[in-house]
Amino acid sequence: MFSRRLQILLDEERHERVCAAARARGTSVATVIREAIDRGLPPDDDERADALGYILDAEPGPVPDDPAELVTELHQLRGAHR
C-alpha cells in the first residue's frame, strides 16, 4: 500500500507528543504522522469541493420536531444511499 519512505528528525518534545498520541489511540507513530499530514495538507480534491458547494447551496429542508423521528429519517436516508 505504501510505496514511499520518509525520514524526518524531530526534537524531543515533538517526538514525545507523537508517541503519546500513538499510545493514546492504540496506533503507530507512522499513522499519527500520516493523519497529521492529511489534516494539515488536505488533497486538492475537486469532487469534495463540488460536494461542499452543493451542500452549501441547498435550500433548507423541513426538520422533524421529535428527535426520535429525525433519527428514524436519517437511518432511512442512510439505508437508501448504501
pLDDT digits (tens, 9 = 90+) for 25-45: 999 999 999 999 988 887 777
- Start-to-end CA distance of the chain, whole Å, equals 26
Q: Which pLDDT belongs to residue 82?
A: 57
Q: What is the band of 9 on the pLDDT scale with cuts at 50, 70, 90?
A: very high
Q: Assess contact for 57 and 68: CB atoms under 8 A.
A: no
Is residue 80 predicted with pLDDT exceeding 90?
no
CA distance 30 to 20: 12
Q: Assess contact for 39 and 49: CB atoms under 8 A.
A: no
Q: Which domain holds residue 38?
A: 1-82
How many domains in the chain?
A: 1
Output 22 or 46, whichever has higher pLDDT.
Answer: 22
Summarize the confidence of residues 39-52 as an average pLDDT. Answer: 80
3-class state of residue 68 by DSSP: helix
